[in-house]
Amino acid sequence: MQTDHKLIINGDSVTGDQGTFDVINPATLDVVAACPYASIAQLDVAVAAAEQAFKSWQHTPDAELKQALHRIADRIEANADALASIIVQEQGKPMFLAQMEVGGAVAWTRYTAELDIPVEVLEDSEHKRIELHRKPLGVVGSITPWNWPLMIAVWHIMPALRTGNTVVAKPSGLTPLNTLMLAEIINAEVPAGVMNVVTGEQGIGSAMTGHNTIRKIVFTGSTPTGQTIMRSAASNLKRLTLELGGNDAGIILPDADIDNIAETIFQTAFINMGQTCAALKRLYVHDSQYDALCQKLVAIAQAQTVGNGMDEGVTFGPVQNKAQFDLVCDLVDDARANGGRILCGGEPLKGKGYFYPPTIVADVTDGQRIVDEEQFGPVLPVIRYHEIDDAIARANACDVGLGGSVWSADIEQAQKIALQLECGTVWINGHAEVLPHAPFGGCKMSGFGVEFGQEGLLEYTVPQTLNINR
């Protein structure tokens, strides 16, 4: 793997003013690479470069913007093996999942390339024509997390470029390397200054959110950080898209075929070792099926092969960082101390790395930390319910509202229940599936704004009404 990583500012590779910081492999705790530590002054240079590039990039013909994104997708595809390897080493997920992430990044880029930016005719009469146009905002700041580092960067950056904006990206200091490579790939297809990336551990993100030249921030991460961003954005009334924390509930109806759904429930709860915003994080199961479903989930959990994502046959990697690992340990210990039954897992693995096996916790309920807090890790609490109205009320008794799901053989009944859940997306007989054509976002403390589809694309634009008197 490349070890001499540089910032990308105005099309140039630049050394960080503040030296470097180490990127750690969570499976081995070895240093993967030294990453450049940017200064606030370098951020200012990157923003100025993006602002200058915007003056011409915003006028790029629509067809050329589409072609540029397709060429970028070609380059991501050509570098798929290298990108997947970087993801495994800095994030920890198994290789098959990293390859899926790169494939998703390619597909999302191509889909975004083909989206159209409409001009809506509001009136076309004898004496007047009124049109609604969509114009790019300017410099967009992207701040991404460590769980899906390449995919989420693509979700932020590609619609910004497609709509004629320029970008300054700041990846998580835990997983910056693939975003640096992505920026190099993009810079091969766009003018200098259109795509910039700065890396650092402290201060860069907050400086971006308060920067008077940045016109929009797209952020995926925790609710407290989203609140801080919202306060900072008031300096110049930045547009915001905030995809924040979730604590997604799934409700299993008594008629559900648990033989058929158990594997899907497990995979959507433990995708990326549970480190996914829209993973299933609280499972409400009717009395009649509670014990049987718990047993099935345990069998699937115990069949996983936990280990280094680079090793063949591994299906389950480490928790990405020590802080998250410690939180998972703490939540499970708290559940055990408060009467929870640990059906499998429940203890970190011995040896190097942040390895915690997939853990199923039974006999817990609302009001306990394992249920009320987002674990964002390889733990699933299974909660017993008696009446469906009670399950709905408990699922909704939460400050956040990103996703939810209902599992049933009766689709019509499931739909009625789904529409009562207070969250941005509800899946029926599934969970955690995000698609490029389906808008995705949260409600309540899970943020606002949507990504994906034309609705998500238009979040990177400002409407302008053209009122023509004939």
Q: Which residues are catalytic?
A: 243, 277
Beta strand pairing status for 249-252 and 447-448? unpaired
- Contact between 145 and 172 (Cβ < 8 Å): yes
229/233 Cα distance (integer angstroms): 6
- Contact between 288 and 253 (Cβ < 8 Å): no
- Contact between 204 and 9 (Cβ < 8 Å): no
Helix (H) or strand (E) holding 334: helix 322-337
User: In 10 A of CB 205, how many CB atoms?
Assistant: 24
- Contact between 244 and 279 (Cβ < 8 Å): no
Give the residue from 281, 451, 460 showing the smallest Cα distance to 381: 281
**Position of tokens 């969570």?**
26
Two structure tokens written together for 334: 């708290």
389/278 Cα distance (integer angstroms): 23
Quickly count helices (H) and strands (E) in the chain. 15, 22
- Contact between 239 and 459 (Cβ < 8 Å): yes
